[in-house]
């Protein structure tokens, strides 16, 4: 089945039993809104379907390879102000970006007035998150004016706890109420506010999360995430020639792949919509006829099942291998190892075990500063026979819900890696059999990805 926009909607409506028909949340990323001509494309997409009612905007991104994202300019501007340096030239660059957009769109909007508010803020007491948020804030106000939609400021509804954690319950409650009487609205992505009213942002790329939050709040039938690629690819195109576009992927598979480095969507963006089962459709603003990728709770029955969905990976891992004879006879050994590592605030990624050995895989970056202390404690508290530390590992995940009922995927993967002359340093199969993860030396990473992809391509 080929998935058109109409199919996607029908499918979404089946999922929701038609309860939430006709409400689509659209989120446009920075490259989709980088200039007036890109904004026009986005607006054409919005106007092409009256169900596209709630629009979440990013700040203007790069117009070309060597351009600078407005958010990066805003951070640079803040850095200058915070250091007591002259921030005026960077602020002027930001003003010019927005002035150009406003002029080319022919919309009436007081860019200079907004820039003066920012200047006064920077002179008084610069705040990093406040500055970072102004890209989404201004872009959304301009786009709302151009579309003739009401502007709904995320600062009034998207709420964080005082420690910066996202407050889902309060946000959904407030945002649902605010949007209930609005058929259309533009909401800036990326930020909200702390209980004291100060602006607080999500991590970079966080407008994807706002889109998901708005979709949940309005009970959308579909969350369309418009970007500059025609969906999610089954592997990194910098490493693999012409990888498949994934037409359907489950939330769980996406989570595994994005955690392992596939970066089409913010890695937390599925959480808000997941509870409500709202599908996300990744689409391309520059090729709106392309069907993109549907991210769904489960793969619908009329769609061809595939065994493997995608391959992703990243470098920068370390392994702490602990050996102790009769380890298997000591209860709680593994717990104590993990306890020591956790007490130092280092999350562990994988933990393959043997009879008398345990390996704990951690991100080198998170581990680096705690390394000596952790190793000392392991020696003092657990008296191991040997501890071997190894850096420079890369992890590769082969992800696919279909692997659970298919024989021989692991054999294909390991065979391909061996044929390529690569030594596998670690193997871990997730308990859900949703993924097979292998560790290789960083130097072998690219070659391993290519050979694995080739080996499983026919199963996609
Ligand atoms: N503008 C922000 C960033 O560059 C957030 C986003 O675009 O999602 O990270």
**Residue 324 and residue 279 share a domain:** no
Candidates 190, 263, 266, 267: which one to mutate for ligand 1, based on the most atoms within 8 Å of Cβ? Answer: 190
Block mean pLDDT (10 aa), the chain, length 460 = 48 48 92 98 97 98 96 98 98 98 97 98 97 98 98 98 97 97 97 98 97 97 96 94 94 88 86 94 97 93 86 95 87 90 91 88 93 95 94 95 88 94 88 86 97 94
- pLDDT, residue 4, reads 47
CB of 206 shorter than 6 A to ligand 1: yes
Whether residue 350 is found in the same domain as residue 389: yes
The verdict on 152 and 32 lying in the same domain is yes
Shared-domain flag, residues 68 and 9: yes
Q: Is 56's C-beta closer than 6 angstroms to any atom of ligand 1?
A: no
Is residue 57 situated within a structural domain? yes
Which pLDDT value is given to residue 175? 97
CB 172 within 8 A of CB 213: yes
Whether ligand 1 lies within 6 angstroms of the CB of 190 is answered as: yes
pLDDT at 1: 39
76 shares its domain with 117: yes
Is residue 303 domain-resident?
no
pLDDT at 377: 95
pTM for this prediction: 0.86
Distance 435 CA to ligand 1 centre (A): 29
Q: Are residues 237 and 103 in the same domain?
A: yes
Per-residue pLDDT at 13: 52
Same domain, 200 and 245: yes
Domain boundary pick from 296, 324, 346: 296
- Which residue among 263, 296, 329 closes a domain? 296
Claim to verify: residue 130 and residue 188 sit in the same structural domain: yes
Atom 8, ligand 1: which residue's CA is nearest?
Answer: 205
Number of domain units in the chain: 2
The alpha carbon of 307 and the centre of ligand 1 are apart by a number of angstroms equal to 34
Q: Is the CB of 333 under 6 A from ligand 1?
A: no
CATH of the domain at 351: 3.30.2130.10
Same domain, 27 and 67: yes
List, in order, residues 6 or more apart from 4 with CB less than 8 Å away.
Answer: 291
Examine residue 305 and state whether it is found in any structural domain, yes or no.
Answer: no
47 Cβ below 6 A of ligand 1: no
71 lines ligand 1 (CB under 6 A): yes
Pairing of strands 52-57, 280-284: unpaired
Residue 455 domain boundaries? 310-459
What is the enclosing helix (H) or strand (E) of 256?
A: helix 251-259
On whether the CB atoms of residues 212 and 48 are closer than 8 A, the answer is: no
Question: Looking at ligand 1, which atom is closest to the CA of residue 205?
Answer: 8
Q: How far is the CA of 355 from the centre of ligand 1 (A)?
A: 47
Give me ligand 1 centre to Cα 267, in Å: 13
Tokens representing 203 are 């991590």
Q: What is the pLDDT of residue 7?
A: 52
User: Which atom of ligand 1 lies at the shortest distance from residue 208's CA?
Assistant: 8
Q: In this structure, are 356 and 236 located in the same domain?
A: no
Q: What is the pLDDT at residue 261? A: 79
pLDDT at 14 (0 to 100): 52
CATH number of the domain within which 41 lies: 3.40.1160.10
Within-domain flag for 341: yes
Same domain for 335 and 273?
Answer: no
Do 287 and 338 lie in a common domain?
Answer: no
Is 302 part of any domain?
Answer: no
Q: How many residues does the chain have?
A: 460
Determine, yes or no, domain membership for 290.
yes
- Model pLDDT, residue 406: 86
CA-nearest residue, atom 5 of ligand 1: 205
- Indicate if ligand 1 lies below 6 Å from the C-beta of 60: no
In a domain, 304, yes or no: no
205 in ligand 1 pocket by Cβ < 6 Å?
Answer: yes
**Measured on CA atoms in the order 136, 54, 51, 219, is the torsion positive or negative?**
positive
Interior CA angle at 139 toward 137 and 145, to 5°?
100
In a domain, 301, yes or no: no
Whether ligand 1 lies within 6 angstroms of the CB of 207 is answered as yes
């Amino acid at each position: 089945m080929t998935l058109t926009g109409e199919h996607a909607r029908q499918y979404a409506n089946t999922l929701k039993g038609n309860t939430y028909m006709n409400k689509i949340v659209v989120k446009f990323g920075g490259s989709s809104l980088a200039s007036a001509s890109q904004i026009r494309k986005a607006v054409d997409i919005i106007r092409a379907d009256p169900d596209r009612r709630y629009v979440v905007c990013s700040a203007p991104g790069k117009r070309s390879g060597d351009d600078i994202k407005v958010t990066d300019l805003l951070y640079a501007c803040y850095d200058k102000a915070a250091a007591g340096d002259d921030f005026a030239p960077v602020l002027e660059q930001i003003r010019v970006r927005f002035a150009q957009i406003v002029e080319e769109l022919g919309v009436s909007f007081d860019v200079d007035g907004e820039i003066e508010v920012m200047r006064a803020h920077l002179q008084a007491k610069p705040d990093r998150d406040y500055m970072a948020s102004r890209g989404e804030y201004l872009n959304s106000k301009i786009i709302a004016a151009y579309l003739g939609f009401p502007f709904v400021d995320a600062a009034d509804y998207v709420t964080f706890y005082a420690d910066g954690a996202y407050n889902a319950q309060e946000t959904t409650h407030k945002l649902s109420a605010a949007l209930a009487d609005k058929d259309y609205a533009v909401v800036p992505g990326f930020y909200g506010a702390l209980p004291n009213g100060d602006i607080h942002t999500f991590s970079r790329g966080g407008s994807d999360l706002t889109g998901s939050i708005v979709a949940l709040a309005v009970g959308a039938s579909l969350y369309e995430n418009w970007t500059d690629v025609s969906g999610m690819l089954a592997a990194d195109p910098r490493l693999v020639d012409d990888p498949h576009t994934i037409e359907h992927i489950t939330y769980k598979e996406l989570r595994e792949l994005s955690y392992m480095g596939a970066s089409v969507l913010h890695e937390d963006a599925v959480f808000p919509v997941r509870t409500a089962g709202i599908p996300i459709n990744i689409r391309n603003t520059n090729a709106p006829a392309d069907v993109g990728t549907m991210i769904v709770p489960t793969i619908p029955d009329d769609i061809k099942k595939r065994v493997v969905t995608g391959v992703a990976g990243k470098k920068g891992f370390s392994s702490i291998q602990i050996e102790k004879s009769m380890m298997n006879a000591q209860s709680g050994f593994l717990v104590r190892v993990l306890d020591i590592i956790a007490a130092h605030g280092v999350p562990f990624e994988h933990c393959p075990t043997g009879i008398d050995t345990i390996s704990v895989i951690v991100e080198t970056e998170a581990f680096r500063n705690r390394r000596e202390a952790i190793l000392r404690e392991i020696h003092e508290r657990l008296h191991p026979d040997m501890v071997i530390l190894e850096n420079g590992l890369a992890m590769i995940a082969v992800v696919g819900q279909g692997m659970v009922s298919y024989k021989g995927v692991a054999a294909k993967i390991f065979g391909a890696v061996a044929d390529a002359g690569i030594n596998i340093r670690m193997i871990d199969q997730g308990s859900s059999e949703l993924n097979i993860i292998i560790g290789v030396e960083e130097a072998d990473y690219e070659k391993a990805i290519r050979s694995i992809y080739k080996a499983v391509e026919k199963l996609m």
